[in-house]
Amino acid sequence: MTLSLTYHLQVVNFLAAMLLLIAFAMLSQRRIVGLVTLFAWQGAALSLSTAIVAWSTDQHHLYYSAALTLILKVIAMPWYFYRLVKKLDVDRDVEPMINIPTTMLIGIALVIFAFNLALPISEMSGTVTRSTLGIAMASVLLAFLMMITRSKAIPQVIGFLAMENGLFFAATSATYGMPLVVELGVALDVLVGVFVLGIFFFQIRETFDSLDLKHMEKLKEK
């Protein structure tokens, strides 16, 4: 029972669960705008949990990470994606490759798998938030699953970013975050990556008149 845990840890656990809930919501979301909104919420949960870990363990550099997450993943990137969707005019219902309940069923299997995988590691780890490691791992796997089941370009990028969210959460929960320099570097990489991909979207659409990555199959040599 959680009775022994302090309140802020309960909140971190709760936010971890939110992260997972949002990951599942992403799996079942058909519209791209909805996906972007969910991504923003996931970023918010991540930023909040990082801030709470920072406060409870008195690690100041985590505050910077939290702020960075807030600015990049809750404000900047979603805003950019909204604009992109509007410009490219791609906000329609997208049928995923596998139907949604089946995807979620696979997702549940992944959660069980991830948790049991994380169990020995989190038992070794002495940090207070160790039980969240399984959830972080599950979020990574779920984001990967989302990338597999979507054929459109923007959902794939969001899936990639959600995966990064999961990794980031794993870092904060298991080891109280990476050194600030590394985090800054990663954040910069992600930011640049997103912009480059945005440019690519325009290119892809100009070439194929669609953002459906199925058309890329034509590029392979016969």
Binding-site ranges for another protein (CB under 8 A): 1-3, 7, 10-11, 13-14, 16-18, 20-21, 24, 28, 99-101, 104-105, 107-108, 111-112, 115-116, 119, 131-132, 134-135
Closer to another protein by CB, 16 or 204: give it.
16
Write the DSSP string, 130-142: GGGHHHHHHHHHH
Alpha helices in 29-152 (DSSP H): 32-57, 60-69, 77-88, 100-124, 133-149
CB count in 10 Å sphere of residue 154: 23
Closer to another protein by CB, 116 or 207: give it.
116
End-to-end Cα distance, the chain: 60
CB count in 10 Å sphere of residue 59: 15
138 half-sphere exposure, CB direction, 13 A CA radius: 29
Closest contact distance (angstroms) between CB of 220 and another protein is 29
How far, CA to CA in Å, does 62 sit from each of 24, 68, 219? 27, 10, 44
How far, CA to CA in Å, does 158 sit from each of 112, 166, 169? 24, 12, 16
Closest contact distance (angstroms) between CB of 219 and another protein is 31
Closest contact distance (angstroms) between CB of 104 and another protein is 5
Closer to another protein by CB, 84 or 132: give it.
132
Closest contact distance (angstroms) between CB of 142 and another protein is 11
Closer to another protein by CB, 52 or 68: give it.
52
Closer to another protein by CB, 136 or 204: give it.
136
Closer to another protein by CB, 139 or 183: give it.
139
Closest contact distance (angstroms) between CB of 120 and another protein is 10
Closest contact distance (angstroms) between CB of 88 and another protein is 23
